[in-house]
Amino acid sequence: MKIHRLVGIILASLSMSLAQAQDYWYFPPGAGPYFRAGVGPSFFQNGTLESFTVAGSSGPANAPVSYDTGVAFDAAFGYAFNKYIGLDFDTGYIWTRIDSVQGYQSNHSTIANVPILANATLSLPIPHTDIVPYIGGGAGGAVSVFDGHTFNDGTDFVQGEESDTVFAYQAFAGVRFTLGPNVSVGVGYKYFATADPTFSYPPSPNLNVRFSGIQSHSVLFTLQVNF
């Protein structure tokens, strides 16, 4: 009888502990991991070719640069602490072709960036609707890639891809429309900027092409899935 009574006390204690654990690990509405993806056009601000130094010679410095309309892909995986606040890791691909560089022949050379950023997002659901405006920002780095298609100053040229890792940051805002308990679509604006990248071509570190930081304005059509 004493053994049966002891077992009963142990089972009752376990039951109370589980009930308390369930209360302790309460998850508020909207909490959980999520995945977001987006794609759309990207419009690049004019920039500057700060230097072009090849084999000891130097082309025109501080030459104005204009870019064609490019494209942006965006992907993020994060965690929402509630229906208002989320943190995520963001990457993607932002690409454009160089339209012209004063004093140079660009020959359709291109610049791309692969962001590696940490974001914070504030969502503001409108009560009794499926509309969720949001705003946020992030910082981190980006891998900048310059693909020179015989990019030249009339005398010297660079050919092929080189990359540089630079500081980057972004700000964004938009609106999502809930389609179901876990799926929403939306449209948003994203401003993305980098520090000045320098692309060094072999065989010498003196083969340098340096641009002012990239600044782009993207319109993204998004899909978000909450788990």
Query: What is the model's pLDDT at position 17?
Result: 53
Q: How many CB atoms lie within 10 A of CB 149?
A: 17
Query: What is the model's pLDDT at position 18?
Result: 46
pLDDT digits (tens, 9 = 90+) for 119-149: 999 999 999 999 999 999 999 999 999 999 9
Please report which helix (H) or strand (E) contains residue 7, including its range. Answer: helix 2-24
Question: What amino acid is encoded at 207 in this protein?
Answer: L
Cα 139 to Cα 212: distance, rounded to the nearest angstrom: 18
Cα 142 to Cα 140: distance, rounded to the nearest angstrom: 7
| pTM score, whole prediction | 0.84
Q: What are the residue ranges in the chain where pLDDT is below 70?
A: 1-27, 55-59, 204-205
